[in-house]
Amino acid sequence: MITIKFIQPDGSEKLVSAMNGRSLMEAAQGAGVVGIVAECGGSAACATCHVVLPQEVFDRLGAPEEHEEDMLDFADAPRQTCSRLSCQVRVTPDMDGIIVRVPTA
Ligand code: FES
């Protein structure tokens, strides 16, 4: 299992055990992380799964696809440099121990 720490919108922390290959959104939802609504179920069409990744993880993943780029502009919380839609990010073993922030609107 890969452990990821989520900082929820109120500043509280939640440790999440995530399976390799699942989306970050699925891992967060399964653990009840506050602020990950995922209205569209993971098809990059709602932006209610917006998270901010650590810079090094963001860089390693490469640029989001154009559709995700567009959707991030519709997220409730203002977009940040390392913003991603968590449904479009796959959990990998090198993410063990990272800290992911759920931004406040
Ligand atoms: S779950 Fe809707 S955009 Fe990610």
Domain locations in the chain as residue ranges: 2-101
pTM of this structure:
0.96
62 — pLDDT class (breaks 50, 70, 90): very high
CA distance 88 to 85: 6
Q: Write out pLDDT tens, residues 24-57.
A: 999 999 999 999 999 999 999 999 999 999 999 9
Pocket test for ligand 1, best of 22, 48, 51, 74 (most atoms within 8 A of CB): 48
Tokens representing residue 75 in the block: 């997220």
Arithmetic mean of pLDDT, 66-71: 96
Task: Name the percent of the chain lying above pLDDT 90.
Answer: 97
Domain 2-101 has CATH 3.10.20.30: yes
Q: What are phi and psi of 44, to 5 degrees?
A: 60, 40
Per-residue pLDDT for 105 more than 90? Answer: no
Q: Residue 93 in contact with residue 4, Cβ under 8 Å? A: no
Residues lining ligand 1, judged by CB closer than 6 Å? 25, 38-40, 42, 44-49, 71, 85, 87
